[in-house]
Amino acid sequence: MSTESKILTFAITNQTKNSENNITPPVIKKIPKELRRKKFKADISLSWYKRFVDRLKNDSQFFRSSVQLAFVLLCLWIGIEFYLFMKWGMSEGTASYFERPPGVEGFLPISALMGLLHWIFSGTLNTIHPAATIILIAIIAVSIVMKKAFCSWMCPIGTLSESLWMLGQQLFKKNITVWKWLDYPLRSLKYLLLLFFTYSIAMMSVDDLNVFINSPYNKVADIKMYLFFAEISSFALWTIIILMLASVVIKNFWCRFLCPYGALLGLAGLVSPFRITRVIETCIDCELCTKVCPSNIKVHQIGQANSNNTIGHVWSDECTSCMRCVEECPVKETLVLRSRLNETVGQATKKSVSVSPFVFGSLIVGVFIAITGLGILTGHWHNSVSKDEYQFRFQQMDSPLYNHARGSVPQYGPND
Ligand code: SF4
Ligand code: SF4
């Protein structure tokens, strides 16, 4: 369906709905010809490679899906390597040895946060899970610069969530939007979880952090995580199934309501210089941006609370910079991603810099790769647990030493 017909269909549906509810329908302005934004169309005369690059440059959603796919494949690769490492460990050394991939530490957020605080307070990066801390720093840096973009561009759980609500849309033609009065308290759950984790960790002294980080439990935290899923209890399995089913009917159920990582990135993103910006004068009020926003942000209304505004910014901590709204807007230069650098009130649209989705996406990937790459190059990536030590610990895995309760680990000696 062309953009013009999309607008028309949406307007008619909306007008019917509004007249049924006695609401004044929105007036959709016509787009002046010179302001019509053309949708990307592949040039079939180009070679497949040039067509691919052309599409990456001009179709933000294709670019984003490609980055998402690349990260899913990277996680699968890490998963296969870790599976082979586990196979060796569980075989008591009879199977072939495969080195543990450090990237698996990206799935140890608690260890990463402890490592970060320990690094800040002690000045030394731990050698048990250094990659966990480097990955956490890379993700926070991406969020500080480019808002919560990690969630919609890189996170494999975010990609799974997005696939699930899209499946729901295919099956039921739409997703459920949670009532506003329930949405706010549910959204605050992830902040409460974040508060709980950060408070528990922040209350630990450097010595406590040191004890935890070097404990037998933390040394095998990734192995424990693998065993948790490989020998999953029926309670945990049902919890995951329920979360996945909820994500089919409600967009990004886990990410929106429960993910403490998302809460942290949402807060970090508040200082980002980039904002989705709507130019009120040229906006035709078609509401297509709001319709496609997976975070249920009323993009078509931003900035209109004050009649003096010429532009409006999306401030919401839920905006994941997915660029769906920007891609969908049919009017040139009306919904854009702008930096607020050099912005002057009153002349903001002239002074701030508009950033193309391609540049923005490249920045997201670039910042992440630069920081993790720096970690690898400076030797802060591989841990100090040797092959022999892993073999020893695999044999001891049933010992109470490899348990923990709410951040505290059993006492251990120098030989444990
Ligand atoms: S406001 Fe735009 S960029 Fe932000 S989440 Fe919604 S659709 Fe994505
Ligand atoms: S900003 Fe939103 S409402 Fe305005 S023209 Fe663009 S898509 Fe339509």
The string of pLDDT tens digits covering residues 136-161 is: 999 999 999 999 999 999 999 999 99
DSSP per residue over 338-406, as a string?
EE-TT--TTSHHHHSPEE-HHHHHHHHHHHHHHHHHHHHHTT-SS-S--HHHHHHHHHHTTSGGG--BT
For residue 350, name the pLDDT band (cuts at 50, 70, 90).
low
Q: Please check the confidence at residue 383 and state whether its pLDDT lies above 80.
A: yes
Q: What share of the chain is helix, strand, coil (3-state, %, to 5)?
A: 60, 5, 35
Give, for ligand 1, the residue of 162, 320, 327, 334 to mutate: max count of ligand atoms closer than 8 Å to Cβ: 320
Q: How far, in Å, is the centroid of ligand 1 from the Cα of 48?
A: 30
Q: What is the pTM of this model?
A: 0.88
Question: pLDDT digit string (tens) for 313-329?
Answer: 999 999 999 999 999 99
**Cα separation values, 286 from 8, 31, 329, 331, Å:** 9, 10, 9, 10
- Between these two residues, 403 and 298, which has the higher pLDDT value? 298
How large a percentage of the chain has pLDDT more than 70? 89
Residues 111, 218 contacting (CB under 8 angstroms):
yes
Q: Is 276 in the pocket of ligand 1 (CB under 6 A)?
A: yes
Q: Tell whether ligand 1 has an atom less than 6 A from the beta carbon of residue 145.
A: no
What domains can be seen in the chain, in order of their start residue?
79-91+108-268+364-378+387-397 (no CATH), 273-355 (3.30.70)
pLDDT value at residue 351: 62
Half-sphere exposure of 38 (CA within 13 A, CB side): 5
- Are 91 and 111 contacting, i.e. CB atoms less than 8 angstroms apart? no
Taking residues 228-256, report their average pLDDT. 96
Is 153 strand, coil or helix? helix
Higher-scoring residue by pLDDT: 87, 44: 87
Going by C-alpha positions, the residue among 138, 81, 126, 108 that lies closest to residue 383 is 126
Using alpha carbons only, give the angle 367, 65, 69 rounded to the nearest 5 degrees.
80
> For the ranges 5-19, 20-34, 343-357, which has the lowest average pLDDT?
5-19
Count the residues in the chain: 416
Single-letter code of the amino acid located at 382: H
Compute the distance from residue 185 Cα to the ligand 2 centre, in Å: 29
Q: How far is the CA of 335 from the centre of ligand 1 (A)?
A: 11
Which residue's CA is minimally distant from atom 3 of ligand 1?
321
pLDDT of residue 248: 97
Q: Which amino acid is at 290?
A: T
